[in-house]
Amino acid sequence: MGKQKKTRKYATMKRMLSLRDQRLKEKDRLKPKKKEKKDPSTLKEREVPQHPSCLFFQYNTQLGPPYHILVDTNFINFSIKAKLDLVQSMMDCLYAKCIPCITDCVMAEIEKLGQKYRVALRIAKDPRFERLPCTHKGTYADDCLVQRVTQHKCYIVATVDRDLKRRIRKIPGVPIMYISNHRYNIERMPDDYGAPRF
C-alpha cells in the first residue's frame, strides 16, 4: 500500500481560544472595559500645528537668492538624459545664484543604482553641491525631502517624481522645480503680490 496523498486545505483559519475557555488563567482573561464619562465642564485640549513664521499668507519670506535647491535622484538622471548642466540650467531658470543641495539619502540612492548611473554619481559629488547630513533611519529619499522641507521652508525641491510633487504641493510656500521642453521650470514661485511691504 502506497502513501495517501494529502490535499492542502485552503482558507482554513487557525483555531483560537475563546476568552471564556477553561484553559486560560484569570490574569489572561480580558476584563470588559468601562467607558469613562466625560466631564462637560473640563476644557477640551486639541493639538493645532504651529503656523510657520516665515509665511506671509502664501508668500514665503525665506526664499531669496542665493536659492538652495534640494535635488532628487531622478532629477539628476533626467537632467543627464536632457543634456542639461544642473547648476547652469538652474541659474538660467531663476536668474540668480543657485546652490544645489543633496542629502545623504539621495546620495545613497544614486550609489545603489550601480554602474549604470556612474555619471549621475560623479555629478552628485561635484564640489558645487552642498551635502546635507541625514539623522533619520533608512535611505528613503522622498520621506527625507518632505520632512526637511516641512521643517525648513528655505528650499526649492527639484524633482520629476509625480508622487513627491503631489506630497510637496500640500506644503504651503515650497516651490517645485521640474524639467519640461529641455529646460528647467519652476512651479508656484512666489510673486511680489502679497509680499510684506517695508
Residue 73's domain spans which residues?
65-187
171: CB partners within 8 A, 6+ apart: 146, 149, 150
pLDDT in tens, 100-129: 999 999 999 999 998 999 999 999 999 999
pLDDT recorded at residue 1: 58
pLDDT in tens, 48-102: 777 777 787 777 888 888 999 999 999 999 999 999 999 999 999 999 999 999 9
In a domain, residue 69? The reply is yes
Looking at the predicted structure, is the pLDDT value of residue 195 above 80?
Answer: no
In a domain, residue 90? The reply is yes
In a domain, residue 87? The reply is yes
In a domain, residue 12? The reply is no
In a domain, residue 8? The reply is no
Higher pLDDT, 65 or 29: 65
Strand 98-103 with 155-158, pairing:
unpaired
In a domain, residue 30? The reply is no
159: CB partners within 8 A, 6+ apart: 72, 74, 75, 145, 165, 168, 176, 177, 178
Looking at the predicted structure, is the pLDDT value of residue 158 above 90?
Answer: yes
Query: Full-prediction pTM beyond 0.85?
Result: no
Number of domain units in the chain:
1
Q: Tell me what the pLDDT averaged over the chain comes to.
A: 83
Q: Which CATH number goes with the domain that contains 71?
A: 3.40.50.1010
Q: Which residues of 156-188 are buried (b: 16+ CB within 10 A; e: fewer)?
A: bbbbbbeebeebbeeeebbbbbbbeeeebebee
In a domain, residue 24? The reply is no
In a domain, residue 103? The reply is yes
Q: How confident is the model at residue 32 (pLDDT cuts 50, 70, 90)?
A: low
Higher pLDDT, 68 or 30: 68
Q: Are 57 and 175 in contact (CB under 8 A)?
A: no
Nearest to 177 by CA among 117, 90, 61: 90
